[in-house]
Amino acid sequence: MVTITLCMIVKNEEKVLERCLESIRDLMDEIIIVDTGSTDRTKEIAAKYTDQIFDFEWVNDFSAARNFAFSKATCDYIYSADADEVVSKENHEKFRLLKETLLPEVEIVQMYYGNQLLNGTVYNFDRELRPKLFKRQRSFQWIEPVHETVRLLPVVFDSEIEITHLPENNHSGRDIRIFERMIQQGEKLSERLFTMYAKEILISGSREELRRAEAYFTQIAEESGTKPEQMKEALCVVVRAARLNGDYLKMYRYAMKGVTDEGISEVCYELGEYYFLQGDYTEASIWYYNAAYETASILNIHSGGDLPLQRLADCYEALGVEEQAGIYRKAAGEWKAE
């Protein structure tokens, strides 16, 4: 049977850390806790489960912290967990069987990450496979300072184990500050991080964070070398920001770039919001319909689903067409992300 080191980076996780550790402690042969500056009882709780607790000065880089934690591991495999994760009894048994039968040639085991749509996270799906268990001798390196991931060129096994994500709150503000710092320092965002920044801003960003991001995304939308997908993502942010700032000329100019070809749900939804707030419910319903049925979302799946459906119900209610309003309200209530 293989041995497993649990590696975690934590900060102020007193509300959830014990729940996480209780669900997996008996599956682990070693527990490494790296604290990045807790001011609550996090380290006290961690000490109930391990004496291997290390301090790491936070440098706005999750990969640096994870690499430090991985460097302390001594077992065959490393299991990477966040404090707001829980392994259910059913999945605990699957994990136990995996540990007993894992073939040595497997270098990464992927597990399902569930409950992703809770608390307005930036993910547009509720369940996805993620690398969670790593063969230690391969010396995996974390990359990217936020939404960190691992360079993947190993033998990968996709397990049926599902980890339940139970966040207490949304961490978008923390992530957005890292993105802003990278841009201020002149660092170029990778395509993956650009998409994540756009999602953070559009789904979870505050109005002030959106205002600060507008110039950056406008610049990307204006650059001749911007790739089509990044252009669409930039347009979603710029159109939202311009509408909220009352710059309707700019909103229209960039929205028209986004409704050509197949269109974008996020842009159509923003145009619907503009007309809805102007009291033009007939015109608003056209754009909401386009958002829900004629286009696809690229950043926020809700922009092509329950949000425009609910607004269609509001429009028809305002127009006095109660039966149609009821149909759309029912559709909004039954909508589920796929």
Using only the alpha carbons of the chain, give its radius of gyration: 23
- DSSP lists the bridge partners of residue 142 as 150
pLDDT in tens, 102-157: 998 899 999 998 865 555 555 555 678 899 999 998 656 677 777 777 766 678 89
The residue with tokens 């004629």 is 294
Assign 190 to helix, strand or coil.
coil
3-class secondary structure, 229: helix
Quick one: pLDDT at residue 145?
A: 79
Category of 158 on φ-ψ map: left (φ > 0), alpha (ψ -120 to 50) or beta: beta
Q: pLDDT tens-digit profile of 171-185?
A: 657 889 999 999 999
Please tell me the pTM assigned to this model: 0.73
Could you tell me the domains of the chain?
A: 4-165 (3.90.550.10), 172-334 (1.25.40.10)
pLDDT in tens, the chain (338 residues): 999 999 999 999 999 999 999 999 999 999 999 999 999 999 999 999 999 999 999 998 999 999 999 999 999 999 999 999 999 999 999 999 999 999 988 999 999 988 655 555 555 556 788 999 999 986 566 777 777 777 666 788 999 999 998 877 656 578 899 999 999 999 999 999 999 999 999 998 999 999 999 999 999 999 999 999 999 999 999 999 999 999 999 999 999 988 777 889 999 999 999 999 999 999 999 999 999 999 999 999 999 999 999 999 999 999 999 999 999 999 999 998 76
What is residue 115's predicted lDDT score, i.e. its pLDDT? 66
Neighbours of 129 (CB within 10 A): 13
Strands 30-35 and 53-55: parallel
Counts of helices then strands in the chain (DSSP H, E): 13, 10
Q: Give the C-alpha separation, 180 to 5, whole Å.
A: 34
Cα 110 from Cα 98, distance rounded (Å): 12
pLDDT of residue 54: 98
Query: What pLDDT is recorded for position 122?
Result: 53
Q: CA–CA separation, 312 vs 285, rounded Å?
A: 6
Beta-sheet pairing, 149-150 with 77-80: unpaired
